[in-house]
Amino acid sequence: MLEKLFRPSSVAVVGASRNRDKVGNIVLRNVLSTFRGKVFAVNDKADSVEGVKANRSLKEVKNVDLVVVAVPRTVVPQVMEEAVQVGAGAAVVITSGFRETDEEGARLENELVSIARKGDVRVLGPNTLGLVTPAMNATFAFADVLRGNVAVVAQSGGIGVYMLNWAQRTRTGLSYFVSLGNQADVSETDVFQFLAEDLETRAIFSYLEGVADGSRFLDVVPDVAKRKPLVFLKGGTGKGGAEAAKTHTGSVAGSGELFRAAVRTVGGIQVDGLEDMLNLAKVLTADEPIRPDVLVVTNSGGHGVLTADSIESSGLKMVTLTPGANEELKKVLPPQSLPKNPLDLSGDADSERYRRALQIVQDLDCTKLVIVQSLPMVSCSEVARVALEFKGKGVVTVVMGLDEDAASRTLELARMPAFRFPEDAVKAISYVLKRRPPQRKIRVPQPLEEARELVEGRKYLPDYVAMKLMELYGVRTPRWAVVEDPSQLNEAATKVGFPLVVKASTDEPIHKTEVGGVVMNVERDSLEQAYKLVSSKFKRVLLQRQLHGVEVFVGGLRDPAFGHAVVVGIGGVHVEVIKSLSYALSPVSEDEALEVMSESKVTQLLTARNRNYDLGSVARTISTISRLIVDLNVREMDVNPLMVNEEGAYAVDVRIEL
């Protein structure tokens, strides 16, 4: 239970320095100026700090819920012992220099956690900036934030401070602010779980570099996202960034792709950067309903053109106005203008023209993106006041010009989203609409008995064993046969049929084409020659019926954080070049598989030029493989190509590592 952490009745600050530049002093002052419950200061040298009587040791304190620790790292385990002794329920360890720094730090971190766990003390940190609740500020940031409905959860202290500053600057009210630090005990998932139940929190914004426990994350977070929007900014998606993250919060930044797949699974929204997160916050903290169809209303043709471009390229849709609305709008527009979308009210529009136009379109089922460029006839503030009259009608505004600050303040105080650039508004809207329904992934290995026997004791599956495994799972393969001796060649070839492919058959995966281990398009008259060529280098040879069709790539992998996942893309050599890949966590339903196929453009490839290739059997294969890798705990596998034509999908080359 995190009640004592997030809703304590009493707080002790240990390391409450008298020096006003010290972290311990700043935390104490922040707590004193915000918290109405009992506050204890602990300082081993002074009798009082900031006008409060100081205790020499935590042991002297009775009935404390939460202990905030700001003492040198070597002393922290001792303080934790004392916290256990006095029956504290939670601790915020602000001190840094633990796992993120060196081995000694890692050892101290393990020590403090094991003391805390034994004594039932939940620990936030170490290496945290602290915590803001509706009732107190227990951080060492001077954050004078309003109470409100937005929760911020940040793994990095610096990003945390930035978000606090942002809240202050934009007068965004916060419910909770949690700096996670090293997550030695309390993890991001714990915090999300608490915030899901918290009645004051309407939306959660997080900065994470990795997750503490991927499988718990996948278990718990879908229920959080069912209750309120949950936004993720991931640090360390690139190599350099991941490297930096390691020494920064001691976290191993997981694979960016898998993180993205996990966010989609749990129903979160992942943004591409800090600015995008702030822009999305404008929409999520407002009360306006957001629709994917957009009507643009503007007084500048150029703004309309740029906005339409941006709507199109972001996958939203410009609506077509109804004939009825068109008739009405004609009366509002200047003589020679025709109503259309973007609706150009023209440079001489005053705020009354905006009002009349909005009255006409207010009940259309679309987002009204109202853009105003301040011009001699109209200011941003005037149009902002008009927009307020249409609150709740799906109005998003863009205010551009000298008084844009004042106008956006007017709108945001009324919980209406206001942007400075059309592109930012469009991007924020498209983030909201990209959210998927939260899903729980149930991963129960149920391998077939025969499958388990096939893989038993192996690290790699020989190619023909991999083929057998595919067949056991109901994935089709082109007809094939193994030839270990020239005498078997003709019978095997007859069984397979022509044209066929003669391939080296190996126990471990190799790039067969590169070592001259593959001859394609073999007919009966060239069979012997092709066999001789391949068998001169490789003892065992695989014959496989040659198929035509489109090549699709289906891979499977086991991620250290999020477990088993599939990856799908355009196949053959293109997979390496185009990198149009899409990931999904196991198990994958046929329906989700279709989504992944569309994202990775596999669907488009299978249906190009009026092809009628079998999408369903590809989806089925993806779904099967997503289960197979869980059943057999596969480390990495790929089917490349999965050859698809009108008759179905066939696993042609299969590589499996257990």
User: Which of these ranges, 211-219, 444-452, 513-521, 623-631, lies near its own copies under the rule CB under 8 A?
Assistant: 513-521
Which of 302-310, 354-362, 428-436, 472-480 is the region at the interface with its own copies (rule: CB under 8 A)? 302-310
Binds its own copies by CB under 8 A, chosen from 440, 523, 560, 616: 523
221 binds its own copies (CB under 8 A): no
354 binds its own copies (CB under 8 A): no
In the region spanning residues 465 to 484, those forming contacts with its own copies, defined by CB under 8 A, are none
| Nearest-10 crossing angle of helices 615-631, 590-599 | 110
User: Cα-atom radius of gyration of the chain, to the nearest Å?
Assistant: 31
φ, ψ at 351 (rounded to 5°): -70, -25
Candidate list 60, 120, 275, 485; residue touching its own copies; CB under 8 A: 275
- Sorted by sequence, the CB contacts under 8 Å of residue 71 that are 6+ apart come out as 14, 15, 24, 79, 95
Least distance in angstroms from the C-beta of 364 to its own copies: 17
Residue number, 345 or 634, with CB nearest to its own copies: 345
From residue 220, how far is each of 225, 226, 455, 480 by CA, in Å?
A: 9, 11, 33, 45
Residue 94 Cα to chain centre, angstroms: 27
Is residue 247 at the binding interface for its own copies, with CB under 8 A as the rule? yes
253 part of the interface to its own copies, by CB under 8 A: yes
Residue 373 CB, nearest approach to its own copies (Å):
5
Residue 511 sits in the site that holds its own copies (CB under 8 A): yes
Q: Is 24 exposed, middle or buried (0-12, 13-18, 19+ CB in 10 A)?
A: buried
Give 228: exposed, middle or buried? Use CB within 10 Å, 0-12, 13-18, 19+.
Answer: middle
Question: 286 CB contacts (<8 Å, ≥6 apart)?
Answer: 415, 416, 417
Q: Is 270 in the site for its own copies (CB under 8 A)?
A: no
Per-residue contact flags (x/-) with its own copies for residues 411 to 450, judged by CB under 8 A? ---------xxxxx--------------------------
Q: What's the closest the beta carbon of residue 235 comes to its own copies, in angstroms?
A: 4
Under the binding rule (CB under 8 A), the answer on residue 165 touching its own copies is yes
Q: Give the DSSP letter of residue 378.
A: B
**Counting contacts by CB under 8 A, is residue 161 touching its own copies?**
yes
Min dist CB 325 to its own copies, Å, is 17
CA atoms within 13 A on the CB side of 537: 16
The span of 52-60, 110-118, 280-288, 598-606 binding its own copies (CB under 8 A) equals 598-606
Instruction: Please report, as residue ranges, which positions from 56 to 95 form the binding site for its own copies (by CB under 8 A).
Output: none
The piece of 337-345, 357-365, 534-542, 553-561 that touches its own copies (CB under 8 A) is: 337-345
- Is the CB of 341 or the CB of 624 nearer to its own copies? 341
Q: Is the distance from CB of 390 to CB of 412 less than 8 angstroms?
A: no
Stretch that binds its own copies, among 6-14, 82-90, 294-302, 463-471 (CB under 8 A): 294-302
Interaction of residue 370 with its own copies, rule CB under 8 A: no
Among 158, 324, 474, 497, binds its own copies (CB under 8 A): 158
Q: How far is CA 83 from CA 156, 290, 641, in A?
A: 26, 48, 60
Q: Residue 110, Cβ neighbours under 10 Å: how many?
A: 14
Single out the residue of 66, 108, 269, 311 in contact with its own copies (rule: CB under 8 A): 311
Distance CA 48, CA 41 (A): 8
Q: Which of 10, 373, 430, 626 binds its own copies (CB under 8 A)?
A: 373
What's the CA gap between 329 and 353, in Å, rounded? Answer: 10
Interface with its own copies (CB under 8 A), residue from 363, 365, 456, 514: 514
| Interaction pattern, residues 18-57, with its own copies; x per rule: CB under 8 A | ---x----x-------------------------------
Using CB under 8 A, which residues numbered 132 to 151 contact its own copies?
140-142
CA distance 580 to 556: 16
CA distances from 189 to 175, 212, 220, 278, 564 (A): 17, 8, 7, 22, 20
Query: If binding is defined by CB under 8 A, does position 367 make contact with its own copies?
Result: no
Minimum CB separation of residue 586 from its own copies in Å reads 27
Interacting residues of 166 by C-beta distance below 8 A, sequence separation 6+: 172, 278
**574 near its own copies, judged by CB under 8 A:** yes
The CA-based diameter of the chain, rounded to the nearest angstrom, is 100
